[in-house]
Amino acid sequence: EAEVAQSPRYKITEKSQAVAFWCDPISGHATLYWYRQILGQGPELLVQFQDESVVDDSQLPKDRFSAERLKGVDSTLKIQPAELGDSAMYLCASSSSWGRNEQFFGPGTRLTVL
């Protein structure tokens, strides 16, 4: 069964360091989402891609976060420099199209910033 892959599963870093997360969506899925989920809360959409284009990054803290999906397939989310408040689960999801279709979620990357 096709799944969304994410790596690493866990990341511990010190504040001011750079971190990067990788996501490989289900093959053929044009839409890719990155979410941040703080423990005990609902996911917050950081960025949404349609193929290689960003369609919504209104909640992405652009001074320190960046995201790319260069070939419209896999994607990387980067934080530089990491801050203590960035500790959270970072979820990637994909769907065949925006809005009406089911999103398939990856296992997430749990980031701890010390």
Partner 1 sequence: AQTVTQSQPEMSVQEAETVTLSCTYDTSESDYYLFWYKQPPSRQMILVIRQEAYKQQNATENRFSVNFQKAAKSFSLKISDSQLGDAAMYFCVRAGNMLTFGGGTRLMVKP
Using an 8 Å Cβ cutoff, are 109 and 57 in contact?
Answer: no
Binding residue (CB under 8 A) for partner 1 from 7, 96, 103, 112: 103
**Other beta carbons within 10 Å of 20:** 14
Query: Is residue 100 a contact residue for partner 1 (CB under 8 A)?
Result: yes
Of 33-92, binders to partner 1 (CB under 8 A) are 33, 35, 40-45, 48, 56, 91
Please give the structure tokens belonging to residue 25.
């969506």
Amino acid at 13: T
| Binding of residue 105 to partner 1 (CB under 8 A) | yes
Residues that bind partner 1 (CB under 8 A): 33, 35, 40-45, 48, 56, 91, 93, 99-100, 102-103, 105-108
